[in-house]
Amino acid sequence: MYGPNEIDDVDAFVAVVRCQSIGHAAESLDLTQPAITRRVQNFEQALGVELFDLNTKPLKPTPMGIQVYQKCLAILQGMGSLRELVATDTPPSGLLRLGVPQTIGDVVLLDALKHLRGQFPVCGSRS
């Protein structure tokens, strides 16, 4: 299972592939070059495979590194979707104000407001 450290390793690997440079990847993630190198090495060690051809300039992924990169993009996209899901699954908050004539409010909105109050109890009422 991926924990925070593993996701950071994936993020570092993707940045290095995208930037084709450890230095540029470090700048893009606001980290040091040794931190990026360590994360990529941790990731390679966890997978048991070399992800970069160290004999090329600019830095290029190995054939397996390219396949891993594609999977990592999907992982990061999934994490982004998960964060978005959690962020949008919060109940509404704040004060609800409606501007309608009283006759319409009494006839049409009374039941709807009772239903809303049942779903979203008033934490602090204002007079």
pLDDT digits (tens, 9 = 90+) for 47-101: 999 999 989 889 999 999 999 999 999 999 998 888 888 877 667 667 767 677 7
Indicate the pTM of the whole model: 0.65
Query: Both 44 and 75 in a single domain?
Result: yes
Query: Both 35 and 63 in a single domain?
Result: yes
Query: Both 39 and 100 in a single domain?
Result: no
Query: Both 27 and 82 in a single domain?
Result: yes
Q: Both tokens of residue 60?
A: 């290029």
Give the whole-angstrom CA distance, residue 63 versus residue 85: 34
Buried/exposed 30-55: b ≥16 CB within 10 Å, e otherwise: ebeeeebeebbebbbeeeeeebbeee
Structural domain contains residue 114: yes
pLDDT digits (tens, 9 = 90+) for 7-46: 999 999 999 999 999 999 999 999 999 999 999 999 999 9
Terminal C-alpha separation, the chain = 51
Could you list the residue range(s) of the whole structural domain that residue 22 is in?
4-88
Query: Both 82 and 117 in a single domain?
Result: no
For the chain, how many structural domains are there in total? 2
Overall average pLDDT of the 107-116 stretch: 75
Query: Both 37 and 53 in a single domain?
Result: yes
Query: Both 24 and 80 in a single domain?
Result: yes
Structural domain contains residue 127: no
